[in-house]
Each structure stands twice: as C-alpha cells, then as structure tokens.
C-alpha cells in the first residue's frame, strides 16, 4: 500500500463526488463549504494553520440555527449530486489507484475567521462516513493566509464587461457555484457573454495538480486517462493543468508519441502579478506559442477585469475565473407599489 500527502483548497461549495466515486477520490475533496468573515466581509475560504494538537470535530461544533422546514442535509446531497452527475468524478476514477492512503491538508488562501466546522463534518460524513477528519481550530478562531488548520485522510479501496475585454479569448467560469444553483450560476455566465466550463466532475476529465502528484507526472496521468476512457468506451473533453514550461513540454511530448484524448491544456498561474499592479504575461505567451494551436489553451490565475485584456492578447483560447460565480455581487433590486415615494426615499439615501 502506498501513501501520499497533499494539500488542497476548498471552494465555496461542497461538491466532490458521490460516496462511491469519492472512495477513490479523496483528492477531489474540493468539497466542503466554509464561510469566513474578515472585517465583517463574508467570503469563501480554504483553511488555516495547524497550531497545537488536532482535536475531534465533535468538540468544535457550533450548532446550526433552528428552522422548521429547512433540510440542510438535503441541500448538501443536492450539491454533491449536481457535481457528480451520472458518472461520478471521471478524472479521479481514471487516475487514482486503489489501496492508497491519502492525507490532504486544508490551507488558508486569505486571512479571516473560521466558521463552518459543523457543516464540513456533515459534508464529509455524507460523502463517506469512513473519512477521518481532524481539526486544530474552533469556529471563531482567527487564521492567516498560508496556514493549515486540519486534515482529512482515507484509504482508497477499490459578466459582460470581462467577456468583451478578453476578446478574442473566451471567458469561462468554474465549478465554484452556489450549492444547488449551479445551472442558474452558469446560465448567468452565458447571459453575460461568457461560456461554460465543465458542468461537474462527470462530463469532462480535468487533470489537476493533485492528480498529477499521485500519478507521478502529467504524462502518467494522461496515460491513465487514455486507458480509462478506452476501457469504458467514453468520449469526453480532456484537460490537463500545467504549472511550468517543463510540464507543458512533457504534455506535448507525450501527445506527439501516442494517440491521445487530450483536448485542452490549462496554463495555471503563468500570469505573474507585478508590484505596480500590472501583470507579466511573458511565460503565458511563451507557453501558448509552444503549444502552437495543437490544443486549446486555458489561462487560469490572477484574472481580473484589469488584467483580462492583456491575458487575452497572448493568444490563449480561454480565460477561466472562479470569481464569476463564487464572488459574484448580486444587484440590489426592490419591488415597490408606491414608486414615487420609494424613489424619493432612495435618492435621499443615495440608493437611486
């Protein structure tokens, strides 16, 4: 039995896979939902620093407020189901071996205050009761960017403005959507002029960094995917994440030597932020030129309204941004009968 330890971040929504798929996919525990407050601002977060000994989550839980009809377990089940679809996590099913013990750590991507231990426990238990989850913080603890705060382990047994600015590249969202409302979030992206990325874990193979780590390299991961798809007689898009020019070269070398199912190469964090607020896209542009149209390309990381035009000018096919769904700001709209009075009051308070 082999063992691997890896770090993962948690987006806003708990959406890994069905229990059966997740037993082969602890790496896909991009799957719990933490809300974190920072200067009274609520935002999605990943995790926190481990200080002191790990404790059982049973002693850390803050009880859920009472509601007579709200079914939180049902919401969690819906969120998991919409992500797993009818096939489960095809990427992890293709790449992750059986009889491997995986230990994954939660890492904070922003400073803030942790809240949601009880919800995380519910989600992990619903995905697979055999998962072992440990925490080193309590709800309400302050945490800092880059810190670890817990771990999970298991044995595997078997937007219109941004869209216009990005042209000629296409803007994509990600799977980081509101629980149970993925179709609605993705619909809004289409209305705003963007395009949809994969709907869930089931309709596209997306080889991420953790998959690559377990497989022992991008070429090995692609080989496993090709074998899996052929065995299952499946045809679907295949994307692989690359973080360095060496990984891009490895992907291209593999694809040149064999019949490959690969359709797109993600160029992750190749947009480098500069101290003056600008970005350096040299590395991204070099990667796009190296790929030379043989596959679709996707830029990810450091994408904003201010940087998207420069990123699009590199020739990349797609630009993905999780913020399109996980950090969207809803418009404040009122429905009033006495419109004149409502407008009068709104203007007095600078809201109209």
Q: Please state, in angstroms and rounded to a whole number, the distance separating the CA atoms of residues 240 and 195.
A: 19
Asked if residues 185 and 82 have their Cβ atoms less than 8 Å apart, the reply is no
Structure tokens at 111: 């400073």
pTM for this one? Answer: 0.70
- The DSSP code for 103 is E
pLDDT exceeds cutoff 50 at 319:
yes
Axis crossing angle, helix 282-291 with helix 245-257, rounded to the nearest 10: 10
Complete DSSP assignment for 190-225:
HHTT-B---SSSSSSEEE-HHHHHHHTSHHHHHHHH
What pLDDT score does 331 carry?
62
Where do the H-state alpha helices sit in 24-158? 72-84, 90-95, 117-127
What is the pLDDT at residue 206?
97
Question: Would you place residue 116 in the very low, low, confident or very high pLDDT band (cuts 50, 70, 90)?
Answer: confident
Q: Is the pLDDT of residue 67 over 70?
A: yes
**More confident site: 59 or 141:** 141
**Could you write out the three-class secondary structure of 246-292?**
HHHHHHHHHHHHCCCCCCEEEEECCCEECCCCCEECHHHHHHHHHHC
> What distance in Å separates the CA atoms of residue 329 and residue 165, rounded to the nearest whole number?
19
CA neighbor of 105 nearest in space, from 147, 63, 67, 59:
147
Question: Angle at which helices 72-84 and 182-191 pack, to 10 degrees?
Answer: 60
Domains in the chain: ranges and CATH = 72-158+330-349 (3.90.1170.20), 170-327 (3.20.20.70)
Confidence of residue 104 (pLDDT cuts 50, 70, 90): confident
With CA atoms as reference, report the closest residue to 245 among 207, 299, 283, 215.
283
pLDDT at 25: 31
Which residues make Cβ contacts (< 8 Å) with residue 239, sequence separation at least 6?
204, 205, 206, 207, 262, 263, 264, 265, 266, 298
Question: Considering the chain, what percentage of its residues have pLDDT values greater than 90?
Answer: 37
More confidently predicted of 205 and 70: 205
Tell me the average pLDDT across 15-21: 30
- pLDDT of 31 reads 31
pLDDT digits (tens, 9 = 90+) for 162-180: 678 888 889 888 888 888 8
Check whether 339 has a pLDDT greater than 90. no
pLDDT at 117 (0 to 100): 79
Distance separating alpha carbons of residues 62 and 48, to the nearest angstrom: 18
- Of 6 and 189, the one with more pLDDT: 189
What are the tens digits of pLDDT across the range 221-270? 999 999 999 999 999 999 999 999 999 999 999 999 999 999 999 999 99
Say how far apart CA 134 and CA 41 lie, in whole Å.
Answer: 27
Average pLDDT score, the chain: 79
Strand 35-38 relative to strand 41-44: parallel, antiparallel, unpaired?
antiparallel
Structure confidence at residue 210 (pLDDT):
93
- Rounded to whole angstroms, how far apart are CA atoms 173 and 234? 25
- The 8-class DSSP code of residue 26 comes to G
Who's near 337: CB < 8 A, 6+ residues apart?
none
């Amino acid at each position: 039995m082999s063992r691997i330890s890896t770090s993962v971040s948690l987006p806003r929504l708990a959406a890994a896979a069905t229990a059966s798929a997740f037993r082969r996919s602890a790496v896909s525990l991009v799957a719990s939902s933490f809300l974190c407050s920072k200067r009274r601002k609520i935002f999605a977060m990943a995790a926190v620093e481990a200080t002191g000994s790990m404790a059982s989550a049973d002693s850390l839980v803050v009880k859920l407020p009472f509601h007579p009809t709200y079914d939180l377990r049902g919401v969690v089940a819906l969120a998991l189901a919409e992500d797993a679809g009818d096939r489960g996590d095809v990427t992890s099913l293709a790449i992750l071996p059986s009889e491997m013990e995986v230990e994954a750590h939660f890492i904070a991507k922003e400073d803030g205050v942790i809240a949601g231990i009880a919800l995380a426990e519910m989600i992990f238990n619903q995905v697979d009761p055999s998962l072992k989850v440990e925490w080193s913080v309590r709800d309400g603890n302050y945490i800092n960017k880059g810190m670890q705060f817990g771990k999970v382990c298991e044995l595997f047994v078997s937007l219109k403005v941004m869209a216009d600015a990005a042209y000629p590249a296409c803007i994509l969202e990600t799977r980081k959507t509101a629980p149970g409302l993925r179709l609605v979030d993705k619909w809004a992206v289409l209305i705003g002029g963007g395009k949809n990325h994969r709907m869930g874990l089931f309709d596209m193979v997306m080889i991420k960094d953790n998959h690559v780590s377990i497989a022992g390299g991008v070429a090995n991961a692609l080989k496993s995917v090709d074998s899996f798809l052929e065995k299952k007689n499946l045809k679907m898009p295949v994307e692989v994440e690359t973080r360095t020019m060496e990984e891009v070269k490895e992907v291209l070398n593999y694809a040149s030597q064999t019949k490959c199912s690969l359709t797109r190469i993600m160029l992750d964090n190749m947009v480098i932020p500069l101290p003056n607020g600008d970005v350096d896209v040299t590395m991204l542009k070099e990667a796009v030129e190296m790929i030379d149209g043989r596959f679709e390309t996707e830029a990810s990381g450091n994408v904003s309204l201010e940087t998207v035009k420069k990123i699009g000018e590199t020739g990349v096919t797609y630009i993905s941004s999780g913020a399109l769904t996980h950090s969207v700001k809803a418009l404040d709209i009122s429905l009033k009968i006495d419109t004149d009075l409502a407008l009068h009051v709104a203007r007095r308070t600078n809201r109209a």
